Every structure is written in structure tokens, then in C-alpha cells.
Amino acid sequence: MSAALAPTVPAGRFTGLLRAEAHRFLARRFLRVLLLLTLLGWAGALVIGLLAFQSPTPEALAAAQAQQQESIESSNAYRQQCVADPGRPSDVPVDEYCGEPADEQNTPVSIFLQPAPYSFVSDTDDGVVSVAAVGAALAFLVGATFVGAEWSTRSMVALLFWETRRPRVMAAKLVVTAVASALVGLLLQVLWLGMAGLLQAVAGDGLAPPGGFWSELVAGQGRGVLLTVFAGLLGFGLTNLLRNTGAATGVAFVYVVIVETAVRGLRPAWQPWLLTNNAAALVLPDGLELSWTDERVPPGGSPTGVVEYLLGHGQAAVYLTVVTAAVVGLGVLLFSRRDLH
């Protein structure tokens, strides 16, 4: 089918096209299997957590708290000696050379308990980041298989006999993919929050969340959902370019495992431009701190040659938006202009 010969008569409203794409998406067997596996994985992780964690007895908690205070006092005494040491390098920050002051936040009581209880307060960041990573991988597969199935079954060509305006067709598919990816990310974050709440209630450490805890938790989960949307659209865009799900997943695997590993080893100064680093920086509470050795010692850099770089949330979000828009936009452009068979 040639773009020049395609009629331009509208087939209906955009909302009707959206409903058709949503129905096509929800009817896919892969999505149901993925949802079932996700629920089974959640149940399995909950059982493992209940077996691995245990709430301490009052006697065990008192003994652990005594060990915690002893460890904090010992660490801070060593730090004071380090700070007062006349041989301490003056060009290295104190916290970097001697370590940060020890307190109950960075020395949780749970490390002195065997078996350890579940700590909702201490494990929140790790949980949100891990769930966001899993959600991104699943969303990539959802977006890739959605459009990949259209190309493999040639239903993409058949669809154009009903709706001839190709940008509208692609826009409807992208909206459905973005919404589905967001729902996948939201579902996983809600499931993790439910599991963490159950573990805290049954085998938790009993610590009360500090001030600002819930707002930071919601913000982190929101950034995790945003990452799943980026991943879903990238999976869709890459597969739409290559018109094959297997090829798209293969390219993604080679990029993450081989290309990024090679860049970290051969061109460490390019790390701020790696997709996985930007994905991590988007979700981590304080962004991602990168460092590499630069023998040229750039102006304003550390005299030791170590360059430190903080990849923040805003920069990561902008970079992922540009990359996603480029991949998806190129696919839409080729879809609108190339012949289909």
C-alpha cells in the first residue's frame, strides 16, 4: 500500500479509534499471561518475606538497641580521631575521608537482630527502585509485543483500510501503550506497597516513619511509574522501527549488556548519556552519583583526577524524553511515508 494512493476520507472520531486499539490491546493473551505471572510472583515474594523476617522479642530488641548505641559511639569516636589527625589530606572532604557521622538512620537496629525483622522505613528506597526496574522491563515487553504482533500478523496493513490516516493510527496506539505502561507501573507499586505493609504488620521492626516519609515515598513511586511509561514507549518505538519483536528485544539486550559495559570501561566520561544510568537517576531519591578518573584533570575538577558528577531527576527526565521522542518519532515518520506490504 502506498502513502500517495491512500484515500483521505475520515473513518470516524479519534475516540472510536482509541476504543478499538484498547480493545485490541486488552484481547491479547500475552497481557493476561503477564498479569498472572506478576500476581504469582507477588504471592511468592510475600511468602519468602514472611519466612525470612521475624519480629523481635522485647529482650532481643533491647539487646540489639544496646549494640546499636555501642556501634554508633565507637564509629563516631573513630571519626573524631580521624578528623583530628594532622596527617589528614586537606584537599579531601572530611566526610569522604573519615566517613559520615554514625546515627540511627545509617546504623539501623535491624542489622543487630537475627533473624532480622522487616524494616519498612529502611527498605523503602530499595523496594521502590527494584519495583520500578521490574516495571520498566515488563512495560518494554508490553510495548514491543503490542506493535510487534500488529506487524507479524499484518493486521497493521488491514487496519489502514478502515482508518487511512496513518498518524492517527500511530497516535492511538501510542496513547494506549502509554496508558497501559503507566497502569503496569502503578499496579506493581501498589502491589509492593501492600506487600511491604503486610510484612511490616506481621514481621516488622515497629519503627514509626519519620517526617516527610510518605511524601518522599509517593514522589519516588511516581518517578517509578514515569520510568515504566518511558520503557513502554521505547519498546513500542524500537519494535515499530524494526517491525519485529525479537529483533527489538535483541537490540535492547545488546545495548544494555555490551554497549553500556563497553562505554563504562572505555569512555567513562560518557556515563551521563547512558540510558540505564538516566533510568536509575530518575528513580533514586537523590539522583545518581557518578565518578570516573580523568588523567587530564579538567579545569575546576578534583586535583586527584577523580571527576564526580551528580545526575539529577530533572536532567534524567529530559534526556529520557528526548531519546523516547526520537525513537518513536522516527518510527512514526517512516510509517507515514514508506510503502506497506
Q: For 73-96, write each residue's pLDDT tens digit.
A: 999 999 888 888 888 887 777 887
DSSP state of 9: -
291: pLDDT strictly greater than 60: yes
pLDDT at 295 over 80: no
CA 124 distance to own-chain centroid: 14
Helix (H, G, I), strand (E, B), or coil: what is residue 310? strand
Over the stretch 242-257, which tens digit does the pLDDT of each residue have?
989 999 999 999 999 9
What pLDDT, in 10s, does the model give residues 153-196?
888 888 888 888 888 899 999 999 999 999 999 999 999 999 99
Residue type (1 letter), 272: P
Q: What is the mean pLDDT of the chain?
A: 87
Q: What's the 3-state SS for 163-226?
A: CCCHHHHHHHHHHHHHHHHHHHHHHHHHHHHHHHHHHHHHHECCCCCCCCHHHHHHHHHHHHHH
On the CB side of 65, how many CA atoms lie within 13 Å of its CA? 9
Paired residues of 293 in beta bridges: 306
pTM: 0.82
Q: What is the mean pLDDT of residues 263-275?
A: 92
Question: If you compute the radius of gyration of the chain from its CA atoms, what whole number of angstroms results?
Answer: 25
Report phi then psi at 288, rounded to 5.
Answer: -115, 125
Residue ranges per structural domain of the chain:
14-48+94-337
Query: Poorest-confidence range of 115-124, 192-201, 323-332?
Result: 115-124
Q: What is the pLDDT of residue 103?
A: 86
